Structures are given as structure tokens and as C-alpha cells.
Structure 1
Amino acid sequence: MTSFNRSTSRRLKKLTQIPSVWEGDRRPLSSSQTQNSDPDVKGECILWVDGSQGIVRGMDVVAPETGPEAIVRTLMRAMEHPHNPAKPARPQRIVVKDREIQFYLRGVLQDLDIAIEYAPDLPLIDELFRGFTEILDSQVPDLPPQYAQVLREKAFALWQAAPWEFLEEQQILSIEINKWDVGTLYASVMGMLGMEYGILLYRSEDSLKRFRTSVLKEDESQGHLEEAFLKQDCLFLTFERADDTEEEEDEFDDLADLPLSEIEPTFGNIHPLEGLRSVLYDEEALVVYVAIESISRFMRDHRNQLGGDTFPSLSRRYRISLPESSKELTKSVSIAVSSMPQLATELEEIAGFDTLEDDSESPAPIFQSLRDDLIPEDSFLSLGVVSWEMLDYLRQGGAYHATGEITQAGDGLPVILIQTSRPKAKTVISNIEQAGGLKAICFNPGADPFDGTRYDLGLLQTDNGELFLFGEFEDDDPIHVEARKKWNQRCKNTNGYCGLIIAKGLTGASRGNPQLRDMMALFEAQFLSPKDLGLGTLQLMPQLQFEET
């Protein structure tokens, strides 16, 4: 049996021993509702209370498999660092209702002059646990227990059907239900851009249009977007990475790359007067159930038509059986699902798809070799300069990649700094070297086709001709505008020569200001203008956000 160190025993014996009786126990902390809604929710609560004063001195929640040492650790805190208003002290007597705990504590506490006694009942702790149970039982589960399993099964089936591979957000499906006070739902599928995955089920066409119009206003402040979000009137199903999934460093950039076991569906409701609620009540759960099932069947039946270049006019009626646990009098409902190409056209017009580009230039398609998998998402990025003296030091290192004789004019060599972790930096360097080295650094105009925002896209061109996106900067950002002016002037001074520095130390003290020892590679390159590239304006969605100095 583990016992206290002698120094610990001496320290505890110095505490004032008060003439009081403490109750202690360890019990499962669960309720009927939490067990039904989530069978994985488990835990045991350890409580130490002063029965004489009627106060809790220490409490902890541990995993069921935690050993008996946990009850001693909580007791030590109850003695040395008790909850307010209790003062540090040592009791004269301890009462427990578990014989194993009694014998264990007698062995561990034998040098502390504390009597360890058994009692079949602990009135104060019994009352506290009754209160805990009432609180847990009064909590509304995220999903009605009778529908939780079947809803999750339908959600996973929809995930595997992947409607976002065929439908864009503005390509709406109408779902005519006419039951549970719901007429027609308007389903907007999220996920084609590889950012957020899920289904928004709007209760009215007007709510859908108002939201789309609102988020496309020029006011992009956080307050405006939050207000627009909360004014939606819809039910939703979204997919996230499971909370208990271990974070693996940049192994997955997209939920779609994860195995099904690491995907977690979340259900909820948004209403202007109620706000966001991640809870579904009985009738809402049934509405979402039949909507998900009908969408899954519609995708199965019309997969080929929806995979074309146009959004066709399609309609299908289904009879959906309700879950066996349903208390509804009818065991099935008739649902009509239809595509809405005319509404999709209206939403595209709201987004201004046809008026994004200047009259003087035609929009270019996404460049086939443009990739965004070279630079890690969480990198620190800046446009800057290294002095000619610093350049000489870097040239003496082993990871210097020269392209030619640089004209040393101005304050130094203009560089793009990419700072990330050491393993990721090594991967970036290796990938550039395998592509034959770095040929050019470029900035090219881009536009977001959904909100009209214009970007200055930072591109790296490797020697094999591939283009990699390293940054997306809003072209009206004053910090970036000033940085680009300096960059252009410095490149002019060096006759078009510039460089890319890959550095480690992203999470250390040198974050944002890497020292010479942190710089793992310098690639020299030529600076190319948009005219040199000849790509026109690229229609790209903003995905990476970088800091710039």
C-alpha cells in the first residue's frame, strides 16, 4: 500500500486538528437522461464535507478506473486547501460508508491521529448527491433519447452520400413535409468548398434570401455577421471533428479526409427570437429525420443528373417510415423533394456573380496547377527584407539556394518569410527541392465569387512549373498595400531578385521574429508581375489567413 512520505506526514500533522467529523465518499455521477443521450458519459465524484459545519471542503470528478489514491488526494486538498469559507485543518474523525475505503484510509492516514469510522448512511453527502442528480435530470439532452441513435445513423448515412460533392450552397432543394406545423423546408448544402459541412433547413424561402442578402452587405464586422446569423430561421445538421480525437499535426486539412469514426454530427435550431440552440425537441427531431432521409434518397436517385454542369429541374416523392420509437399515430409520411434552379439563379444574382470582374479583363478559371498544399495553414507569414550582411551569413549555411548574381542595391533582399514548426519546415523545404527548386515569387489578383471581395494572391512557382498559393491578402488592407509598395521597390532595386525564407520556431519566443539560427533555408527567386504570369483574375475562395508585418 502506498503511504505518505515522512515529510508529507509531518506537514499534515502541523495543521490544526479541529473537533469535527468529516464525511467522505466516492459515487458515480450520472443520471437516467445523461446515460440515455450519451452512453459514453461516465465519471465518479469524490466528496469531503465537514459534517459539523455543514460545508463542502473538497470535491473532485475522476474516471471510474482511477485508483483509490484519488480519494486521498481530494482529502489532502480538503485539509490543506479547502473550498471557501473553510480554513486549513485536520479533522478528529472521518466517517465513510464503504468498508474498502475505510480500511484503505486507515492504512494511509495511520500517522495523522485521525479516527476512521464506518457508517451505513452519510446524511449530508446523501443530500448533496440527490441535488446533483436532480440538476442532471433537469437538463434537456441535445437529442430526444428515443430518436438520438436513429438520427445519428441517418446523419452518418448523409455524410457518406456527400451531397456537397454535387450541390453548391445556392442550389436549393425544397422538401415538402406538411406535418408538425412545418410546410416546406429549403435545404442548403454546405461543403463543396471543403470548409464547413452540413445542411441548413430553412423554414421559409424569405429567411434564406434575407440571410444571403445580409451577409453580402459591405459591412463585414463581426457584430453584423453575428446578427445576420442569428436572424436565420432554420434547423441544421453540421459535421465536426470529434472532440476526443487526438490532434495530429496537419495530417488532415479537410474533414472529408477523416475516417467516419472521427466525424461527429451536431443538430440544432436557429430562430430570430430564440437564437442558436444546439438542442432538438421531439417534433423538430422528427422533421430533421425525414428531411435527412429524403435528401439521401434524392441524392441516390438523381446522382448522375446533379453531377452535370447545370442544376436541373428534378422532383421526386417519397414515403418515409418514422422511427419505431415514434409516438405518432401515422407510421409514415409522404415527402416531396424538388430542385429549385430558378431560386439558384436568383441567389447567384444576389451574390453578384456576373459583375465581379472589371470590364477590361475577363475572369480566368481556377488555374489547373494552382495548389495550396505547400505552406502549412497555421504558418506565420510576412513580407520583409534581409540586410545584405544577413544574406552573407545565410549564404554560408547549408540550405542556401542561389539563382544568380544579385545586384546589392537598397536596404537588402526582399523576402517572403514563412515561419512554422521544425518538422513542417523540413517538409516544405523537401517539397520545394523535389520540385526542382523555387523559380519565382508572384502576386496575382483574385476574387471571391461569393462576396465580391478582391484579393492579392501570393504565389510561389517551382522550377517544374507548378504554382502554389502561400497567402491571400485583401487588396484594400492598408498594411498589405504599404508592404507591397516596399516589396515592389526593393525588387526593382535588385533587378527582380527576391527570396523565400523558411524558418522554424512558430510557437517559441522567436515567433514573428525568427533569428538566424531559426532560418532553415533561403531560396532565391525572380519576382514576376501579374502581366508576366498572364493568368488574369483568379476566382478563388479565401482559405488561409496570415499575419503580415
Structure 2
Amino acid sequence: MTALNHSTRRRLQKLKQIPNVWEGDRRRLITSQDSDVLDLASGEPPEGDCILWVDGSQGMVRAMDVVTPDSGPEAVVRTLIRAMENPHNPGMPARPKKIVVRDRELQFFLRGVLQDLDITLDYVPELPLIDEIFRGLQDAISTRPPQLPPQYAEALRAKAFEIWQDAPWEVLADHEIIAIELNQWDVGTLYASVMGMLGMEYGVLLYRSLDSLKQFRQRAIAQESIEQMQEAFLGQDCLFVTFETEESNKESPLMGFRPMPAAEDVEPVFGNLHPLEGLRSFLYDEEAAALLVGLEALHRFMRQHRQKFAKDAFPPLSSRYRIPFPDDAEAGTITLSVKVATMPELAEELVAMEGEEINLNGFNFPAVRDDLVPENSFLSLGMVPWDVLELLQSGAEYHQSTADLVKQGDGLPVVMIQTSRPKAKTMIQEIQAAGGLKAICFNPGEDPLMGDRYDIGLFQTGNGDLHLFGEFGEDDPTHIAARKKWDQRCKKTKGHCGLIIAKGLTGAARGNPQFKDMLALFETRSLSSKDLGLGTLQMTMTVDWT
């Protein structure tokens, strides 16, 4: 049995002992299929077991925790210690004279842990105060609405998966806004902003006003504090659908390059943001109806015009669709006429807004693009021995040489990207068309809302453009080791490095390309973040919308 260490026991012994009886218990939170239990303290849906310690004499909760069902009895002790030392207001730090529980095993466990604290421990079959609190929690379950109104749930999920298959983030940036005129459910026009071009989080935000959209972008660009960013985030006025997987917050084993998840691994999450309500992870009837029609209109628009957005184009386009919708009042179907249009002038305004903010801060950032490295590629940092390099220089289908290559150390530090042969050929051609590969560099980045920091891998092409090839967590031990070797090798080669593009993503050489699979060698230079002069890049916000 785990016992309190001596210092903790002495600390608890110094607390004032009060002649009160405390009740303690651990109970499973029971949820229905259509609703989640609401954590009264945070507003978030907890998971697992709830631990409660209450002062029965004063009728107040001193500490409450939600833990996973597989947590041991030690979790109950942790909550009890917090109830003694750091109780909820208005409780004061204190040690009870008596504790009662309704679980025999818990009684015996606590008896061993709490020895020498002069606390009487008894078993009772019922805990009336805790029973009352849990009845209140279960009442909250039954009264909280489902995440989606039942009449729209199936249709909304199906429409979300259609949007996932459309993948609008492959051709639209978040500043390229599409207007959807509904004129229904007290909504005039929804302004759709697509998230996902940087591969960090996928989804669609449907703003109910242009003012809200512009205000949020202004505050996000201003690089304010995390607290201010959170306030700006909660100040948005929009409906949303985002797509999550179990791997959403995990780094890829390939040094931060996260492949596109398959449709069967994706779960759509719906919700509402409003300045006076904050984040709400469920929708009421009219909100669900507006979101359903908005997503259907966007789906039809993308199906009709997707090819017109190729090569970063965002032309003026407008279409009108007749969308059937169930009419509850008439127990039938009505047809809505919905106009959908691009807003290229607004896109220019939003880009100019970002440029003005950057200039105000004394920087002139080139665009960072995310369309050069093919999706689902394998990525690694490594080294090519000098003898293999000589073979590549003469045997690769394409070779970009660099003058005065310094052959010191064990080989040339390289970034290796492996994809399919057609995509590899396209990538090679795009680098050639952009004036070749000018430099490979790493630059610090941060998520201003979550506070996470990254090491951002960038290619710089001859035309000055920057292309994202990887986002590596600052605390990723694999990347830290690889980056350390990269810097050491680049120092020995006086800054010379290279990019190898290989085929064979789906064959036997997947993840381990052989010499015959290496189609191109780009010899280039390594730039430091100081040489690049960008400062810390602000990443696209990654938010837990649930």
C-alpha cells in the first residue's frame, strides 16, 4: 500500500483540525446516448468517475475531481488532500475530525493512508449529501440538449463527410471567403472560411457577420498575448464544423509531417461561437438548419467550380442553387433558393490587412506556401555519404549543383522526401519553374492560442517564395536529435546541404528509398533563422472545439 511521505504527513498534521464530519465517495458518471454530463465547474464534458469530498456539517463541497475509470484509490486520496489544503471557496484549509465513506475497500485503504493524522474513519451505508449532489448532476444530464437536434443529426453528419471528401482546404486559403445567402432562420448571409491549407486542423467556419470575421483576423494578426487571443477567439460569431481524429494532437513518426487522415478515421464536431455565449458544443434547431443548408450550398459550389481555384486562383464566381429542406410546420419539404459567391475583393482586403500589420511590426514576410510537398509523403532529415552523393550527381534524373561544395564530415546533410513517381516529378518541375531551390531553413514558430512552440522546416525557391515542408514539436526528441546532427553537419560543410526527392511510396522501398528510387538531387545552402529574418512565425490556431 502506498503511504504518505513524511513531509506530507507533517504538513497535514499542522492544519487546524475542525470537529466536522466529511463525506467522501467515487461514482461513475452516467451519460445518455444523446447528451454528455456537464462538469459544473468548467462547462466541459468530463469522462469517467467523479470523486467528491464534502463537509457534511457545513453542507459544502470541498473538492471535486473527474478521473478515468481505471484510476486507482490513490486518486481519491489526492482529491482528499486537496480538500484539506486547497478547498473550494468558501472553505478554509483544515483537517476533519471524522470521515465517512460507503465503500468498505475504500475505508480500509484510507485507514492505512491516513494513520497518524488523528482522523476517525467510519463506514456508513448511505451518504445523503453526496446522494443529493449526484442527483443534481444526473438532472443536468437529462436537461442538457443533445449535440445535434435529432431531426438534423444524420443529415448533418452525412453533409460533413461530403465536405471532407470535397476537401476545399486543398484549393482555398482561410482568407478566401465564400458568401452564402440564406435569408432564413434570422440569418442573412453566412461567410464561409475554410481551415486546413496548412494541414493543422480541418474545418469550415460560417460567420454570421463580416465584422466578426474581420475583427477576429485583426486581433489574430496583431500577435497579442495568449489571454487576448482566447478572448478574441470567444468573441467570434459563427457556426462551425471541424474534423478530428484520435491522432489529431500527435506528431507523425516522420518528424512532424502528418498525413491526411482517411475518411473512416474522421469524426465531425459541430458547434457555435458567439461573443455573449462563448463556445457551445451543441446546436439548437435553427442553428443546425442554417448550418445544414450552408454546408449543402458550399458542397454544390465546390463540386461545380473546384477546378477554377487551381494554381491559387480565386476568381469572381456566383451560382444559385435550389435546396430542398424539410418543413416541420407543413410536415413536408420546402425549396430554398440560395446564392453562393466568391468574394475576391474581400480576400485582397484581408491579405492587405495582414500585410499592413506585418509592416507595422517592421517585417516584410514573404508568403509561406503549403502546396509544394505532396500529401502523405515520407519525410526525414539525414545524410548522404560522399561516395553515394557522387553517384547521385551523375545518375539522378535531375541534379542542381552548387559551386564550391565543401566535402567535410561524413556526408552531405539532406532532407529526403519520398512520394509517388508522378507527384515526385511534379514537385521537381515546380521547384525548377520557381527558379530552383535557393535554401533550406528552420525557423521558430508558435501557436499563439495554445502556447505550443515549433521548429518550422522551410524551402526557399529562387523566386523568393517560402514553402512549408514540416512542423516539428519543440519537445519532440526524435526531431531534436536529428536537428542537432543537421546543424553539426551543416557546420562542417560550411552551410552546404541538399534535398533528395524519391519515388516508391507504396512499394517495397516505402520509408527506405534505394538509390534507383532517388529521382532528383538539389544541392543548396542552409540558412539560419537569423539569416531568414522572419522572427517567430505565428501558426494557424489549433483549437479544441469540443
> TM-score of the superposition, structure 1-length normalised?
0.52
What letter matches 2:92 in structure 1? Answer: P
What letter matches 1:117 in structure 2? Answer: Y
Paired residues for 1:360-375 under 5 Å = none
Identity %: 40
What corresponds to 1:49 in structure 2? 54
Distance 1:51 1:338, change over 3 A: closer
What corresponds to 1:118 in structure 2? 124
What corresponds to 2:67 in structure 1? 62
Secondary structure in 2 matching 1:296: helix
What letter matches 1:116 in structure 2? Answer: D
Does 2:91 match 1:88?
no
What corresponds to 2:344 in structure 1? 344
Shift of 1:27: 1.5
Paired residues for 1:24-423 under 5 Å = 24-30=24-30, 34-35=35-36, 41-56=46-61, 58-68=63-73, 70-71=75-76, 74-75=79-80, 84-89=91-96, 91=98, 94-98=99-103, 101=106, 114=120, 116-119=122-125, 121-133=126-138, 143-144=148-149, 147=152, 150-168=155-173, 173-192=178-197, 194=199, 197-203=202-208, 207=211, 211=214, 215=218, 220=222, 222=224, 234-239=238-243, 245-248=249-252, 251-253=255-257, 257-260=260-263, 265-269=268-272, 274=276, 277-279=279-281, 280-304=283-307, 307=310, 311=315, 313=317, 315-322=319-326, 329-336=330-337, 338=339, 340=341, 343-344=343-344, 347-348=347-348, 351=351, 403=405
Does 2:414 match 1:431?
yes
What letter matches 1:185 in structure 2? Answer: L
Distance 1:98 1:404, change over 3 A: closer
Shift of 1:346: 6.5
Distance 1:184 1:44, change over 3 A: same
What letter matches 2:239 in structure 1? Answer: L
Shift of 1:180: 1.4
- State the Cα RMSD in Å: 6.3
What corresponds to 1:545 in structure 2? 536
Describe the superposition over 1:128-182 as per-residue Cα deviations: whole angstroms up to 9, x where unpaired. 3344455666767765566556534432331221023344556554434342123
What letter matches 1:235 in structure 2? Answer: L
What corresponds to 1:520 in structure 2? 488
Query: Counterparts of 2:369 and 2:486 in 1: how far apart (Å)?
Result: 35
* 8 A contact 1:174–1:337 mirrored in 2: no
* Counterpart selection for 2:441 from 470, 492, 495: 470
Shift of 1:296: 1.9
Distance 1:58 1:248, change over 3 A: same
What letter matches 1:295 in structure 2? Answer: L
* 8 A contact 2:48–2:67 mirrored in 1: yes
Shift of 1:197: 4.0
Distance 1:107 1:336, change over 3 A: same
29-38 vs 147-156, greater mean Cα deviation: 29-38
Distance 1:285 1:80, change over 3 A: closer
Shift of 1:252: 4.2
Query: Counterparts of 1:73 and 1:216 in 2: how far apart (Å)?
Result: 40
What letter matches 2:165 in structure 1? Answer: Q
* 8 A contact 1:22–1:51 mirrored in 2: yes
Describe the superposition over 1:71-111 as per-residue Cα deviations: whole angstroms up to 9, x where unpaired. 455556667887742523553xx543346656776788899
Query: Counterparts of 1:270 and 1:284 in 2: how far apart (Å)?
Result: 11
Query: Counterparts of 1:202 and 1:10 in 2: how far apart (Å)?
Result: 55
Distance 1:128 1:86, change over 3 A: farther
Give ranges in structure 2 of 5+ residues lacking alignment. 357-365, 382-403, 419-430, 445-472, 497-523, 525-532, 539-546
Shift of 1:245: 4.0
Query: Counterparts of 1:227 and 1:79 in 2: how far apart (Å)?
Result: 34
Shift of 1:430: 4.3
Secondary structure in 1 matching 2:69: coil
What letter matches 2:204 in structure 1? Answer: I
Describe the superposition over 1:350-386 as per-residue Cα deviations: whole angstroms up to 9, x where unpaired. 8569x99xxxxxx999999899x99999xxxxxxxxx
Distance 1:185 1:29, change over 3 A: same
Describe the superposition over 1:475-494 as per-residue Cα deviations: whole angstroms up to 9, x where unpaired. xxxxxxxxxxxxxxxxxxxx
Shift of 1:545: 3.2
Distance 1:243 1:118, change over 3 A: farther
Shift of 1:201: 3.0
Describe the superposition over 1:8-29 as per-residue Cα deviations: whole angstroms up to 9, x where unpaired. 9998997998765443322223
* 8 A contact 2:18–2:94 mirrored in 1: no
* 8 A contact 2:37–2:137 mirrored in 1: no
Distance 1:212 1:51, change over 3 A: closer
* 8 A contact 2:297–2:340 mirrored in 1: no
Secondary structure in 1 matching 2:36: helix
* 8 A contact 2:21–2:96 mirrored in 1: no
What letter matches 1:334 in structure 2? Answer: T
Distance 1:329 1:179, change over 3 A: farther
Query: Counterparts of 2:488 and 2:173 in 1: how far apart (Å)?
Result: 42
Distance 1:52 1:159, change over 3 A: same
Query: Counterparts of 2:417 and 2:140 in 1: how far apart (Å)?
Result: 60
* 8 A contact 2:234–2:278 mirrored in 1: yes
What corresponds to 2:385 in structure 1? none
Query: Counterparts of 1:367 and 1:191 in 2: how far apart (Å)?
Result: 10
What corresponds to 1:538 in structure 2? none
Describe the superposition over 1:525-548 as per-residue Cα deviations: whole angstroms up to 9, x where unpaired. 489xxxxx9xxxxxxxx999369x
> TM-score of the superposition, structure 2-length normalised?
0.52
Query: Counterparts of 1:229 and 1:105 in 2: how far apart (Å)?
Result: 44
Secondary structure in 2 matching 1:340: strand
What letter matches 2:23 in structure 1? Answer: E
Query: Counterparts of 1:71 and 1:276 in 2: how far apart (Å)?
Result: 33
Distance 1:298 1:128, change over 3 A: same
Query: Counterparts of 1:368 and 1:9 in 2: how far apart (Å)?
Result: 56
Query: Counterparts of 1:227 and 1:110 in 2: how far apart (Å)?
Result: 47
The structure with the largest alpha-carbon Rg is: 1
* 8 A contact 1:24–1:96 mirrored in 2: yes
Number of aligned residues: 409
